[in-house]
Structure 1
């Protein structure tokens, strides 16, 4: 049921404007709604999804990853959390990663994305936070696309 409801994540038409996203974005994400919209248009991904993942991954802009590394998606590299030069760069890289490694491979619903992006039982998730990923991202996505 949830996958059917959340199936339209790759829409050429944004379901949320930058101004609408800015009503919820806070902390290091505050005022970045238009950046999510631009990245969504560039990669053909609903900006509400991009913002929902970023809000969930960063505690709505409060995590050290976003504050110190401009990492909005919990993106990992060989040496742990990746660093980005700017918040805009971090948002763009998260969107690019979602496009290439998820959307283009047929993973187009929040539950499908979660199974690869934040799998339950992952070695880098010792406190099992990934079990909350679908619910958290879905909650924000539903809120943003209104």
Structure 2
């Protein structure tokens, strides 16, 4: 009857929530919705990552060709009119395979044969391998054999630096290591003060 008489009727507090309770509930609801969205979206990213990983295995060759190192090496060798320029991707791929600096074998070719321009006829020996007497089957064959030998017969056997490689690769030359480092810096000016262990 208070309505008709203008008297306010006070309702019990369990029907009306204080404003702070409503604010807390809204905050909790917002956190719940955001958490649910993050969970749903991250599940999609995981399945997408699996899909990308599956397809990436077949794209390895094209990824090597798009590698900046390939572009840098190809440009450098082309600038020197090297017959090795078109094998820049193979240099990088093989260096990665044997875990050595991608600039090392091309730099050795610079020291030994002016990047493959001064070699015995049809030898594909741009590296002074066996004092220039060794004949490889192809440029790819030469890159593979020299890179693998540098890893297995030099680095893995106690010659993890360019100076130590030089003692075995080009004795008694006192300039070989410095010249290799020079060409490595010219190819890409990264630090050459490293060891090849790994």
Taking structure 2 as the reference length, the TM-score comes to: 0.56
Q: Which residue number in structure 2 is paired with residue 104 of structure 1?
A: 156
Q: Which residue number in structure 1 is paired with residue 94 of structure 2?
A: 39
Q: 1:59 Cα deviation (Å)?
A: 1.1
Structure scoring higher RCO (CA < 8 A, sep ≥ 6) equals 1
2:116 and 2:124 in contact (8 A); partners too = no
Provide the alpha-carbon RMSD of the alignment: 2.0
Higher helix share: 2
Query: What are structure 1's unaligned runs of at least 5 residues?
Result: 1-15, 121-129
Taking structure 1 as the reference length, the TM-score comes to: 0.74
Supply the distance in 1 between the matched residues of 2:72 and 2:82 (Cα, whole angstroms): 16
Q: Which residue number in structure 2 is paired with residue 123 of structure 1?
A: none
CA deviations 1:1-52 (Å, max 9, x no partner) are xxxxxxxxxxxxxxx7111011221322222211110110111111111211
Q: Which residue number in structure 1 is paired with residue 178 of structure 2?
A: 135
Q: 1:142 Cα deviation (Å)?
A: 1.5
Supply the distance in 1 between the matched residues of 2:111 and 2:122 (Cα, whole angstroms): 17
Structure-to-structure mapping, 1:1-146, within 5 angstroms: 17-25=69-77, 26-65=81-120, 68-76=122-130, 81-120=133-172, 130-146=173-189
Supply the distance in 2 between the matched residues of 1:141 and 1:108 (Cα, whole angstroms): 16
Q: Which residue number in structure 2 is paired with residue 8 of structure 1?
A: none
Indicate the structure (1 or 2) with the bigger Cα radius of gyration.
Answer: 2
Q: How many positions carry a matched residue from both structures? A: 120
CA deviations 1:27-82 (Å, max 9, x no partner) are 222222111101101111111112111221111221123x52011221118xx611
Q: Which residue number in structure 2 is paired with residue 3 of structure 1?
A: none
Runs of 4+ displaced beyond 3 Å: none
